[in-house]
């Protein structure tokens, strides 16, 4: 029986939180070297990539819970991923991309990078490119520092800009409550504020938090909670003081640990189990200081094909 080439591919891709972000000094090119520990969590976008007739170009359609502020043109990272893949592998860029979003936008959870990763995986499947993980990572790193991790998922250490990804051993399930802001924060603005707050200080070269990695391996959620760290948190709270109020609610309700995820403004709380997650979600919702609250678990896999048509 002859297998027909697919016309459409659906890829599911998770969001992420950063259990550690350690930021090095500002370099000559304006960027910062970082060390981060990623965990992929169970909030997903579904990206459908469908072939179009030659000459029709790219069309982009966005739906779902979190669409405000997501560009529906060629500045969208999914469209950039499609064009880059077409150029690199000499395949048509006449594609329809439909994104159903559940990952918050501009929330420090890599929603745009996730969609770019999903597009790379979808096009690989759609045109039977059979790319290796390393080849996909090399394309992803050209699009954004979080894209390589979104291809891999699980738990991993990121170095350099965050795009040099090494898998980290992690056991067990971790329960998260996420306080999601209705208004995003600009990553460049947060890094700029971080530089302002640290002006005149000697900043060490960042290193991975060994206590955190050992706790993940030992399935020790209490120590993981105590080891959460984000050098960008002070800057995010400086730009958005209400984040401190949200962090305070989590402490009052016994969260094992908390931090601003990525460059914010999502605040992630680690809790002991599903019941604790529900209690904290109710408390945050009734506090009046949170846009919306969602629960998730981690780690989960990275971008994966879920349907081929």
Whole-number Å distance between alpha carbons of 245 and 259: 12
Q: Which residue has the tokens 């992630």?
A: 268
Q: Which residue has the tokens 């981690």?
A: 298
29 is catalytic: no
DSSP secondary structure code for residue 289 in this structure: -
CB of 97 within 8 A of CB of 78? yes
Task: Considering the candidates 46, 115, 124, 146, report the single residue annotated as catalytic.
Answer: 146
Whole-number Å distance between alpha carbons of 53 and 51: 7
Q: Which residue has the tokens 């971790």?
A: 174
16 is catalytic: yes
CA atoms within 13 A on the CB side of 279: 13
The dihedral built from the CA positions of residue 100, 101, 106 and 108, taken in this order, carries a sign that is negative
Structure tokens of 276? 């604790």
User: Could you count the other beta carbons within 10 Å of the beta carbon of residue 235?
Assistant: 25
| Strands, E assignment, 134-187 | 155-159, 164-167, 174-180
- CB-count burial class (<10 Å; 0-12, 13-18, 19+) for 1: exposed
Task: Considering the candidates 16, 51, 80, 101, report the single residue annotated as catalytic.
Answer: 16
Whole-number Å distance between alpha carbons of 6 and 129: 12
Q: Which residue has the tokens 């003081």?
A: 241
> Parallel, antiparallel, or unpaired: how do β-strands 257-260 and 267-271 relate?
antiparallel
Whole-number Å distance between alpha carbons of 292 and 181: 7
Run of H or E residues at 247: helix 242-252
Catalytic residues: 16, 146
């Amino acid at each position: 029986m002859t297998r027909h080439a697919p016309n459409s591919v659906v890829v599911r891709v998770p969001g992420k939180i950063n259990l550690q972000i350690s930021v090095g000094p500002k370099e000559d090119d304006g960027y910062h070297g970082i060390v981060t520990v990623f965990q992929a969590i169970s909030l997903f976008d579904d990206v459908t990539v469908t072939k179009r007739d030659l000459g029709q170009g790219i069309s982009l359609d966005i739906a779902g819970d979190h669409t405000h502020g997501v560009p529906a043109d060629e500045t969208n990272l999914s469209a950039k991923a499609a064009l880059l893949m077409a150029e690199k592998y000499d395949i048509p860029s006449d594609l329809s991309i439909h994104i159903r979003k559940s990952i918050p936008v501009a929330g420090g959870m890599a929603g745009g990078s996730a969609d770019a990763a999903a597009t790379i995986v979808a096009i690989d499947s759609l045109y039977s490119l059979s790319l290796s993980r390393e080849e996909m990572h090399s394309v992803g790193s050209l699009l954004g520092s979080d894209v390589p991790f979104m291809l891999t998922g699980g738990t991993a250490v990121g170095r350099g800009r965050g795009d040099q990804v090494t898998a980290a051993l992690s056991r067990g399930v971790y329960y998260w409550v996420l306080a999601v802001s209705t208004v995003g924060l600009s990553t460049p603005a947060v890094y700029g504020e971080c530089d302002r707050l640290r002006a005149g200080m000697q900043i060490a070269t960042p290193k991975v938090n060994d206590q955190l990695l050992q706790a993940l391996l030992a399935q020790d959620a209490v120590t993981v909670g105590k080891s959460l760290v984000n050098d960008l948190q002070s800057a995010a709270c400086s730009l958005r003081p209400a984040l401190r109020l949200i962090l305070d609610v989590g402490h009052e309700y016994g969260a094992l640990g908390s931090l601003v995820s990525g460059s914010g403004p999502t605040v992630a709380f680690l809790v002991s189990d599903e019941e604790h997650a529900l209690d904290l979600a109710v408390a945050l919702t009734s506090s009046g200081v949170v846009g919306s609250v969602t629960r998730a678990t981690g780690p989960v896999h990275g971008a994966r094909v879920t349907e081929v048509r």
